[in-house]
Amino acid sequence: MRYKIGEVARILGISPDLIRYYEEKGVVSPTKDPYNNYRYYDTWDINYLIDCLWYKNFGFGIDQVAHMFSECTLDALLEKLGEKSGEIKASIRRQEMLLGRINKYFERLSAMKENIGKCDIRRNAEFVYYINRKNAEYDNRAELQELSRSWLKYMPFSRRFFEMPRRAAQDGGDSYSWGFSLGMQYAEEFGIEVAPPIAHMPPRICVHSFFKSEGKGKFSARHVDFMAEYADKNGRAVSGSAFGNLACSVIEDGKVTGYFEAWMPVDNR
């Protein structure tokens, strides 16, 4: 029995273009009718195409499939399958990490919604970070630009990080810095080396809270004044720069509104 390309496409549920591609690669060899130039495929051709779909559904690209089917020895095929197994394991690992990250993110945003402006005393989680912006001005040194490009690839595990100098928090200044941070779990996963400009933040006793900033360009060190006031009322002295992360940016009442989680180190009494 012989079949036209459209019939083969319908039998297998694939496109005629894919069949033509595998023909170009020598996987199938249809006969051509000398009178009408139609290509005709036999049962063996369909079997070969099914074999190609077998490998394709492991995640191999069509170029790889064509090579595996038309040129691979058994040893070479085993090597390809081993490589693909490693790729799949790495993909599963990343998906597991993403699932954990999105669940924690959901929990954090849910907690934040009910706790804007409310303070407590707790230890921050350990993390690493770097700074690449002072107020509105980015540091354009090549070293920092390269570092930023690499850390952007770690998103959503890396987070937008801010730091407000202790003097700004205490003396009414409005200086702040921005960069990125990574929790220690992810820093270890990605093999981050802690060396300048990357710094390490150990767990510290802090005033902890959430705040929001409404409107473009309205972010200010003044947003954490209430945390310094809380520390003072509770007999705690501010002992370091306030820091934290952008939790999310949304639109509220027609304005860009940022939600932030913040930490302000205090003495350990």
Q: What pLDDT score does 172 carry?
A: 56
Q: Which residue has the higher pLDDT, 183 or 215?
A: 183
pLDDT at 135 over 80: yes
Name the nearest CA neighbour of 124 among 182, 194, 202, 238. Answer: 202
Q: What pLDDT score does 210 carry?
A: 96
**Predicted confidence (pLDDT) per residue in 81-103, tens digit:** 999 999 999 999 999 999 999 99
**Dihedral pair phi/psi, residue 14, rounded to 5°:** -125, 170
pLDDT at 58 over 70: yes
What per-residue string of b and e applies to 209-237 under the rule 16 or more CB within 10 Å gives b? Answer: bbbbbeeeeebebebbebbbebbeeeebe
Name the nearest CA neighbour of 201 among 259, 123, 108. Answer: 123
**How large is the average pLDDT for residues 128-135?**
93
Q: Which residues contact 61 (CB under 8 A, 6 or more apart)?
A: none
CATH class, range 2-71: mainly alpha
Confidence of residue 63 (pLDDT cuts 50, 70, 90): confident
Confidence of residue 191 (pLDDT cuts 50, 70, 90): very high
Whole-number percent of the chain with pLDDT over 90? 59
**How large is the average pLDDT for residues 37-41?**
84
**Dihedral pair phi/psi, residue 56, rounded to 5°:** -60, -35
pLDDT at 12 over 60: yes
Q: What pLDDT score does 127 carry?
A: 97
Name the nearest CA neighbour of 249 among 218, 228, 224. Answer: 218
As annotated, the residues of the chain forming the CATH 1.10.1660.10 domain(s) are: 2-71
Q: What pLDDT score does 114 carry?
A: 87
In whole angstroms, give the CA distance from residue 186 to residue 266: 27
Task: Work out the mean pLDDT of the chain and round it to a whole number.
Answer: 90
**Predicted confidence (pLDDT) per residue in 203-255, tens digit:** 999 999 999 998 887 888 889 999 999 999 999 999 999 999 999 999 988 88
Confidence of residue 29 (pLDDT cuts 50, 70, 90): confident
Q: What pLDDT score does 171 carry?
A: 56
Tokens for 3? Answer: 């079949």
| Amino acid letter for position 146 | E
CA distance readout (Å), 79 to 48, 73, 85, 104: 21, 10, 10, 38
**Predicted confidence (pLDDT) per residue in 166-181, tens digit:** 765 455 567 899 999 9
pTM, two decimal places: 0.78
- Quick one: fold of 115-265? Multidrug-efflux Transporter 1 Regulator Bmrr; Chain A (3.20.80)
For the chain, the distance separating the N- and C-terminal CA atoms, rounded to the nearest angstrom, is 88
**How large is the average pLDDT for residues 124-148?**
91
Q: What pLDDT score does 151 carry?
A: 92
Number of H helices, E strands in the chain: 9, 12
Q: Which residues contact 188 (CB under 8 A, 6 or more apart)?
A: none
